[in-house]
Amino acid sequence: MDPLARLIDASANRAREGLRVMEDIARFVLDDPELTGSLKRLRHDLRANLDALPLRPADLLAARDTPGDIGTAITTPGELARPDALPDLAAAAAKRAQEALRSLEESAKALARSGAGFESLRYRLYDLEKTLRARLAPPCPQWTLCVLVTAALCIYHTPDDLVRLAAEGGAGCVQIREKDMPDAQRLDHTARLVETAHRAGIHAVVNDRPDLARLTDADGVHLGQDDLPVGAARRILGPARWIGVSCSTIEHARRAAADRADTIGLGPMFPSATKPKPALSGPGLIRAVLEDPAAARLPHLAISGITPANAPELAAVGCRGVAVSSAVCAAEDPRAVCRAIIDALRPADATIDA
């Protein structure tokens, strides 16, 4: 039995198995034809590189000795569990294939052949793993209420206390919005509020600035139409943080969906003293988004001028969540206002994430 042929046979099988698992995830879980095709081409190119070795398939098969493989009886606790389900499954499959390709690369050199082909496949696989795992990242929740926290609007409470009170009132997220604060001060301020939100058990996103979102370990960023595009923000934030986009038209919402934003802000709904707008999108924009197959898949937050009094108007057209600023920040009892808005948007037995 040729031990090198046995090594190559085992490595080739591991590489094919790992690639097939990744391809099946792209095909059956994500329904992504481009990613599925890329992984399939990688499998075919692997076969071509194996065929170029000075070993026939019959040689590899003859060297196979599954009953005598001591590795079949060796296990570790980590390989028996996939606690994060599909993301862990994809990661394990990718690592299996990458390690096997490295083994094939070195084995080719032992046969006096170049390992460059297997090396190239491994580098391609690194990029495909990144794409696949980004697509499997946890989806952005559909918050019922997000509170936009601006220090100047916090009349009765400090921003830190406001975040805690909003969480106690049922808000699922806060957005930290400080456009006029110097960067150094804004960094410290944002980091403190992100930590406060996380300790309170809710999410925190940063307005406009993906760099600050990453530096402060925020859960994501919310971008306006004139801010960085989604793709550029994704390169800064990576796959694990959410990106929201403000949309005032159905065309904006469709573009956000095509750019693979994680959530969208819809508005302005009503006149706002905090951030006046020359024109209102109104509740009709929510209806248009919910009727659009692509845009309707994204979580959304209606924004601008929303209060407990007018929130039922949004609920009537199917609004799933709202972002509120002054109605909560300037309130003497932010918890009560948060609860009133949530009650106006959903029945008591709703299961939507706050």
Backbone angles phi, psi at 323, to 5 degrees: -115, 130
Query: Can you give the pTM of this predicted structure?
Result: 0.68
Name the nearest CA neighbour of 190 among 204, 171, 170.
Answer: 204
pLDDT computed for residue 51 by the predictor: 94
Query: What is the spatial distance between Cα 223 and Cα 241, in angstroms, rounded to a whole number?
Result: 13
* CA-CA-CA-CA dihedral for 265, 267, 273, 274, to nearest 10: 20
Domains belonging to the chain, first-starting first, are 3-135 (no CATH), 145-345 (3.20.20.70)
Q: 260: which residues sit within 8 A by CB, 6+ positions away?
A: 230, 234
Task: Give the pLDDT of residue 350.
Answer: 46
Identify the pLDDT of residue 82. 42
Q: What is the enclosing helix (H) or strand (E) of 181?
A: none
Quote the radius of gyration of the chain (alpha carbons, Å): 26
Q: What is the pLDDT of residue 354?
A: 53
Q: Count the Cβ atoms, other than its own, within 10 Å of residue 137.
A: 14
Q: What is the structure's pLDDT at 318?
A: 96
Segment 209-255, tens digit of pLDDT: 999 999 999 999 999 999 999 999 988 988 779 999 999 999 999 99
The list of the chain residues with pLDDT below 50 reads 79-84, 348-352
pLDDT at 84: 47
Element (H, E) at 221: strand 220-223
DSSP 1: -
Give CA–CA dist 28/129, Å, rounded: 16
